[in-house]
Amino acid sequence: MATLLRTIRSPADVRALPEADLEALASEIRSVMIDTVSRTGGHLAPSLGTVDLTVALCRVFDFPTDRVVWDVGHQAYAWKMLTGRLDRMETLRRHGGLRPFTFPAESPYDASVGGHAGVALSTALGLAAARDARGGRENIIAVVGDAALTNGIALEALNAVRHTTDRLILVINDNGMSISRNVGAFTRLLARRLSALRYNRVRAAAEAAGHALRLGWLRGAYLRFKGILKSLILRHRAAIFEDLGIRYLGPIDGHDIPTLCEALRSAAEGHEPVALHISTVKGKGFPPAERAPAKWHGVAPWASETRRESEPARPSWSVAFGQHLCELAERDPRVVAVTAAMRDGTGLAEFFRRFPGRAYDVGICEEHALVFAAGLAAAGLRPFVAVYSTFAQRAVDCMMHDVCLPGLPVTLCLDRAGVVGADGPTHHGLFDLALFGALPGLTLRAPTDAAGLVRAMDGALAGDVPAVIRYARGSVPAETLPPAPLPPGDGPVILAVGRAAAWLKPVADRLSLPLVPVDSVKPLPAGLGPDVTRPLVTAEDATVHGGFGAAVAQAVGGPVLCLGWPDDGWVGQGTEAELRADCGLDGEALVRRIGAWLKELPAHG
């Protein structure tokens, strides 16, 4: 029973607790978090690692007058609990429930949307600059973790800190992990914990001895020695921040609440920007997550009463992609793989194991991933860049300028295209067809089944142009829906792209209409030209605006009904079935909508 936690309605209640109760509060938060996520699913390991930091933040600062920006919001489950949302945690990630990330419309305590990595420091700088302009005194804190500090936006913001404000606190949550193990020189710099721990042990021993012997007269000499020792042991880590005009504190134990509170107070009292480097354990307090933090980064419900009945296992799109890329690499030495901190999520773990010299994880840097791939392609290699659709949106300019304009054979593989369910609007991959489809000189394919994915990958390798392949989250469908030509005649036809073919098949059967599965969005399937005057219905697991249907409507001479996700609002969170029902894309709604449209046409009235 979380007796302490149940008394907390706001951060002010945390400040009112006796200090001796803080560890017990953190323990209760972890217990409730594990129990909740066992029922709802979610990002468990990241949020377990920030429980103690969250308690310390609430202890030291006056929220929501002070502001904290979480990067990424999947660190913030404890934050939700301590800011008045404890009673709604059972709705986390569910239809109409709590968002999986921070979201200002959900709570005045959430300073920003926290679904994508790398933006917290820029957001915090904007809040600090606005505060300074109006003469405010509130504290602005950015909590940057899971390798987000190596993101290009974060590094741009880091460069801008000193000439933007004199008062900002950057908390670096260093757990050595993004989704997978961190990579890069900056990560190695921050991860030199052996020297840090050695320094802290020497300091602690010296302070303890001084107190025990009451050698107050040695304090001045001790402080000078401490400064020399710290500069010798930690100079490389501190220098990168201090050379940028940012005072560096740490590293400190991110699970020691009193020490965290002391460090946060020290940071708040200064008159210069501060980088507070804390060392945490991803998955802290839950042994399975501590042992396998990547596995427990984002998990499905596992409580017996919420776990779905097991179904015959089918490979996911990600696994199918990774398996075939390994086959291509065996046949063609030019094939290389690039990903942005998600080798496991995109199905590339086996490729990294089997072809380590041909696999590149660039960290949370999607723009760099594509430009890097352009360089690989320019040197004669055939890179396949695998990222989630929602994160690839950052790199549209790089795809245009560095890949498409020079016509380089880079294949961008968009995992999690379409709706992704409980992760909600920050993670739906609904805009890729409109964004990438507008770029000249590339092919864009959306396979309907596993065989289609193989054809798309083989075609991209055989071709000599930029290519985009999009595929959904979840399992490859059991039913084969190969692309087909337009049937003869002038009657109405349903054209369905990728996963939408499975949605529309029962609808087409009920309306006695032919269904044509489509896997090529650009170029359009053969036969779709101005001479086509028959009624066409298009369907896609993407936003209607600027997608496949829009291209078909522009190409043909007859009427077109475009079906897809609405472009005048954000698609929420929930199961695919719930979201389709919300947006009029479930079977009954589609039957009614298509039937009504056909009746309105002169030839079908």
* Cβ 447 vs Cβ 471: under 8 Å: yes
Can you read off the two tokens belonging to residue 158?
Answer: 């880091």
In the residue annotation, 282 being an active-site residue is answered as: yes
* Cβ 350 vs Cβ 323: under 8 Å: yes
Taking alpha carbons only, the member of 116, 123, 559 closest to residue 364 is 116
Give me the catalytic one of 67, 94, 366, 522: 366
In the residue annotation, 311 being an active-site residue is answered as: no
Q: How many CA atoms lie within 13 A of 107 on its CB side?
A: 28
Torsion of CA 218, 219, 225, 230, to 10 degrees: 150
Taking alpha carbons only, the member of 342, 340, 341, 338 closest to residue 325 is 338
Query: Can you point out the beta strands (E) in 11-113?
Result: 67-71
Can you read off the two tokens belonging to residue 555?
Answer: 């190409």
| DSSP code per residue over 320-341 | HHHHHHHHHHHH-TTEEEEESS
Q: End-to-end CA distance of the chain, in Å? A: 65
CB atoms within 10 A of CB 431: 21
Residue 362 to residue 42: CA distance in whole angstroms: 25
Give me the catalytic one of 30, 67, 131, 282: 282
CB proximity list for 233: less than 8 A, separation 6 or greater: 195, 196, 198, 199
Give me the catalytic one of 382, 394, 445, 473: 394
Taking alpha carbons only, the member of 395, 576, 599 closest to residue 499 is 576
Give me Rg for the CA atoms of the chain.
27
Residue 151 to residue 266: CA distance in whole angstroms: 27
CB proximity list for 554: less than 8 A, separation 6 or greater: none
Q: What is the largest CA-CA distance in the chain?
A: 100
* Cβ 571 vs Cβ 430: under 8 Å: yes
Alpha carbon distances (Å) from 287 to 291, 403, 409: 6, 44, 45
Residue 379 to residue 475: CA distance in whole angstroms: 35
Residue 471 to residue 79: CA distance in whole angstroms: 34
What length is written for the chain? Answer: 605
Which residues are designated catalytic? 282, 366, 394
